[in-house]
Structure 1
């Protein structure tokens, strides 16, 4: 049996195991437990190997740096089953627990399946210090080769751009040691110039893939979750450029999720719970917008939640405290922010209802204003359109009506909108009457059929916008009468959920 061999021979075999096998062997008997004596670094290596398996780590995320293409994409449900290792707390956690850079940067990324970087052998040996990746000495041959590989990788993922070297893409090949890569030993400038764009892109991808097969994930042992980074002081406010929160209220960007509107982004699923139902849309022109999700840490309950749980606006390109007066905070005042649950526990249900109502109504009014502008634009543009196609008498009558009608501009005042709608409907009927009158006089004129089509399109578009506008006003009235609905929604959902 293996246990009967001398310890020296056993050690020579043990050092060739993979990290999972090492820990499994150490748990098989007291003898191997004493002999191996696993340390934290060995547990880290085991966790890093586990995250590569489909069973524990889920599907492998493939990221193409050249165009930031993700497979699976941002919207894929596979994200929910993916797990990454935190080498500080030794747990496999979801993507919500990490910043994007901890998942997508080459050194922190999971290696591609079956690549050289994915083949792991334990670093278990009887030595005092553990260095998974030795720092290369500046000026050494190894340092020069590593720097050359980095330049070559940058060349590949930027499609041949080299900021510090003049000349076109083909001339850059002379400045790079491409011949070190297998399969590119005989790549010359002339060969590159003869390639079309697709062939060049394929070449760039092959070069990048060869380097990634070796270098991908080399710094995974440094990856830490947001909570561990916070506790070690890595998320202090002074370390960030831009609006990343504060020392006690850190904000970390996460993946992007598609929402149809800002209301859906900040109150996902809430609109469907109200009595007023959204009118059907025949053919929506826009399926949704990608909004970045932001994970923030509540300074009271110390839980990481999506930034909407702090009644804070998350935009397509950033986030800001700008909606609710309670959250219009600057600098160190970020620390006073707390999640919905903590606001409910400390200041009561009424305060949470007031804050959520103010925020919801403000967002709702923004959307109502946008729809109002569309209605006004439809009306204003039609006042002067196609008049020349009417007969002279009917055209004169329409011009008189136009002179009696002011050009609308909604601005921030929505109180006149109902009166304006009555005028819009009246002018639409008058336009239709003029067209019908012209058709009675000259039924064979093809211009009249064209004007009928213009009218039908005007009515169709205006009615669709108006129905959505009335639907939103119904929402507003329902929330103003019963803000408790927002409290129930906020308290009965997972604050870290994206949808």
Structure 2
């Protein structure tokens, strides 16, 4: 068997050299020896006095997490950022300074620091316990301040290096203080030790998810697995000290957390993974069990995001952290070995991360991780990632020419730049020969795309119900080469696995020919802007010379609120219902979503490209475009689809972050509140129209009739309902909604007497009205909350990534 490759370390310990692994050269013991329980040769070697610890040696600092038998196994406390503290930065060892005060004030005033979407009612009480215990446990206080510095590095990217240095120094000090304490757990120290372990675990998770090392999936897995190993120690702490913790002040929150993680999975998001695990030939029974257990925990996480009930304490993204401790060590080994089934399960975890992308610890890690997994796995595994890829908007058959070329392909050997080459004068386009060539090329391209789409979908294509064996002629018609010299009888003799393997080989063949052929044509938005290739006076949607606008992809949104304020209610008491309402479109009566074009714009102040919502530019309808308007082009009618967009207005536009820096956070909150109130008003009008609509033409809608006596009584009831006679701009009040609910109940009593089948139609109608009413209640509740505290909108705007589409 070939010896595994490794990176050499010239000053590594003897044990690591003998094991052919890279030593981190940490003193007094290297991390790998500590974690594997070996005797490190550094322990018997004196360290030079002039050697100073830095952030690059942070993994050499030891901490200890209790195992169930009360025996502490030393584990390296690693902060996964790549920042090295400057020698001129204060090390926070003994002196308390104003920078400590800044972190402490941030600690006690920011409620989102430790939040993973939870809204446990007794959070403030638990936080008070944490602060109180930290006074007697300095290691806990140092770790809390380190986590604060890590948070500030995210929300203040211009000072991220400074705050990351603080986080590394404080975490190193916290670990050192923790190592100096007594190792036996009792009633006096079980609470601070648990709080320290949890805070350290959250810190390591934030560092792991922020990893963007050039090593790709290997580097990400290395740091993520290290975080998992550390967080599993937290689980050991809870198990070993549970009898003591039950009698402590943390009993309510621990019991609640145990109930949440112990729920039974009810959704079907992970059904494809369960099928893959069940049918896998490369996993033994034990490995299947641990993968199935990890999948069930992950399904509980998906359930929490979509099956949240009113009155139930929220734990929407708690599984993002808990999954790192609840998964079995055997599953972690499968991840280290990059077993395809484990990586596909990690791809579903990436989807859970994508759902929690508004959290400061997560951001765009879900899309980044899924991209790494898709790039690593061969095409035959992509089928099992269909659901997360579909949720993240992947498109498998388009734009092959712009992808990264495959190693060894002709495009990978091409030496070129991003600049287009000089072209010769093209042939006359009007000749008959040129037209025939263009038509033939279009047919070839169409067949190639169809062949690739069939290959990457295991032969199913768009006809999922048709068996693969019935598609022989389809395979030949689209030009798949492996089936060209084959007759139908020979095709029937092939096993299905053989057919799928042939399709996979065809996909790889097409990717080798097409991937990367057009990459030299690509130009980033910034390069196009600097060369003046974006703005044109005849293109009304190109912005201005100072403020360029570029159209991007199209995404589906249910309402303008979701388009311009995605996730704004996640930190409010009134959370958005997990379902959408029908939009009432003419040609798509059951449609609940519409495609909106995303627009990228460049902030003239910070020079960052962000989505247009970050500049408080908006519209009401899905076909809206940010067109420059003048009196000549639009007259006096203005813009009935959104705000008036002029060239002067665009030149003054800056992103939310720059706006808050120049005019203040309160002014930003006021502008966002005005915009959101306008969008809420239009959405409430639409919902009110749907709630009040349908009563007058109930006979036509349902297809049933009333007797003369009941018809007269029904008309009298409608006359006594004032909101039914309002125009389209009317917004229902709480009394109107209650009255309409009463009228629906009276409708059943009058109509079901003479119509036997009316009950079934009525139940469907009431369900749709209840969905609309739930959205109406959500918007009304959010409106009241934001009027009381508009600063939550400033928090939402400043914490999210301005370039994110959702």
Question: Are residues 1:468 and 2:775 paired?
Answer: yes
Among residues 683, 704, 719, which one is paired with 1:367 in the alignment? 683
Alignment match, 2:530: 231
TM-score, with length taken from structure 2? 0.37
Write the distance in 2 (CA, Å) between the matches of 1:333 and 1:139.
45
Q: 1:403 to 1:485 in 2, by over 3 A?
A: closer
Of the structure 1 ranges 283-292 and 485-494, higher mean CA displacement relative to structure 2 is found in 283-292
What is the alpha-carbon distance in structure 1 between the residues aligned to residue 413 and residue 597 of structure 2? 34
Rate the CA distance shift 1:488–1:201 in 2: closer, same or farther, 3 A.
Answer: farther
Q: Find the partner of 1:110 among 403, 410, 419.
A: 403
* Aligned pair partner of 1:276 in 574, 577, 584: 574
Structure 1 position 481, deviation (Å) = 2.0
CA gap of 1:369–1:251, structure 2 versus 1, over 3 A, is same
- Seen in structure 2, the aligned counterparts of structure 1 residues 136 and 325 have a Cα distance that, compared at 3 Å, is closer
- Pick closer, same or farther for the CA change 1:370–1:396 going to 2, 3 Å: closer
1:372-383 to 2 correspondence within 5 Å? 372-382=688-698
Q: CA deviation at 1:489?
A: 1.0
Question: How far apart, in 2, do the equivalents of 1:404 and 1:81 lie?
Answer: 57
Query: Cα 1:289–1:115, aligned 2, differ >3 Å: closer, same or farther?
Result: farther
Contact 2:411 2:517 (8 Å CA) reproduced = no
Distance 2:427 2:702 in 1: 76
**SS of structure 2 residue aligned to 1:295:** strand
Distance 1:453 1:137 in 2: 69
What is the CA deviation profile of residues 345-401 of structure 1, one whole-angstrom value per residue up to 9, with x for unaligned ones? Answer: 222223211210111111112211111111121323337777975455434433444
Aligned-partner Cα distance in 2 for 1:350–1:457 = 45
Q: Offset of 1:491 from its aligned partner?
A: 1.2
- Counterpart in the other structure of 2:617: 312
Deviation track 1:263-289 (CA, whole Å, cap 9, x = no partner) reads 122122211211113346599966744
Change (3 A) 1:121 1:363: closer
Cα distance in 1 for residues equivalent to 2:481 and 2:422: 28
Q: 1:486 aligns with which of 778, 789, 793?
A: 793
Aligned mates of 2:709, 2:419 — CA distance in 1: 91
Cα displacement (A) at 1:303: 1.2
Q: Residue 473 of structure 1: CA displacement?
A: 0.8
Distance 2:445 2:596 in 1: 25
Any residues of structure 2 matched to 1:194-273 within 5 Å, and which? 198=474, 202-203=478-479, 217-218=516-517, 220-238=519-537, 241-273=539-571
Provide the residue aligned with 2:600 in structure 1.
295
> Which of the numbers 659, 677, 682 marks the counterpart of 1:343?
659
Secondary structure of 1:255's counterpart equals: strand
Structure 1 counterpart SS, 2:599: strand
Secondary structure, in 3 states, of the residue corresponding to 1:341? helix
> Structure 2 vs 1, CA of residues 216 and 150 (structure 1 numbering), >3 Å: closer, same or farther?
farther
Name the counterpart of 1:411: 728
Q: Tell me, which stretches of 5 or more residues in structure 2 are unaligned?
A: 1-214, 221-346, 355-365, 373-396, 449-471, 483-506, 583-589, 628-637
Structure 1 SS opposite 2:679: helix
TM-score, length-normalised on structure 1? 0.57
Deviation track 1:137-179 (CA, whole Å, cap 9, x = no partner) reads: 6569xxx99997655323444689xxxxxxxxxxxxxxxxxxx
Equivalent-residue separation in structure 2 for 1:104 and 1:251 (angstroms): 24
Structure with larger RCO (C-alpha < 8 A, sep 6+): 1
Q: How far is 1:340 from its partner?
A: 0.7
Distance 1:331 1:371, change over 3 A: same
CA–CA separation in structure 1 for the residues paired with 2:750 and 2:414: 85
CA shift, 1:336, in A, is: 0.9
Q: Which residue of 1 aligns with 2:737?
A: 421
Change over 3 Å in CA distance of 1:120–1:329 after alignment to 2? same
In the alignment, the residues of structure 2 paired with residue 403 and residue 353 of structure 1 have an alpha-carbon distance, to the nearest angstrom, of 43
In 1, are the aligned partners of 2:684 and 2:776 still within 8 Å (CA)? Answer: yes
Task: Measure the CA separation in 2 of the matches of 1:325 and 1:110.
Answer: 37
Equivalent residue pairs, number: 359
CA offsets per residue over residues 117-147 of structure 1, 9 Å max, x none? 42415589xxxxx99856346569xxx9999
1:295 Cα deviation after fit: 1.6
Show the 5 A alignment for 1:115-194: 117-120=410-413, 122=415, 135-136=423-424, 151-157=439-445
Which of the two has higher C-alpha Rg? 1
1:157–1:204 Cα contact (<8 Å) kept: no
2:325 maps to what in 1? none
**SS across alignment from 1:269:** coil
Structure 1 residue 316: Cα displacement = 4.0
- What is the alpha-carbon root mean square deviation over aligned residues? 5.0
Rate the CA distance shift 1:482–1:419 in 2: closer, same or farther, 3 A: same
Q: Is the 8 Å Cα contact of residues 252 and 296 (structure 1) preserved in structure 2?
A: yes
Residue 334 of structure 1 corresponds to 650
Shift of 1:225: 1.7
Distance 1:327 1:482 in 2: 25
1:262 Cα deviation from its structure 2 partner: 2.2
Conserved? CA contact 2:416–2:520, under 8 Å: no
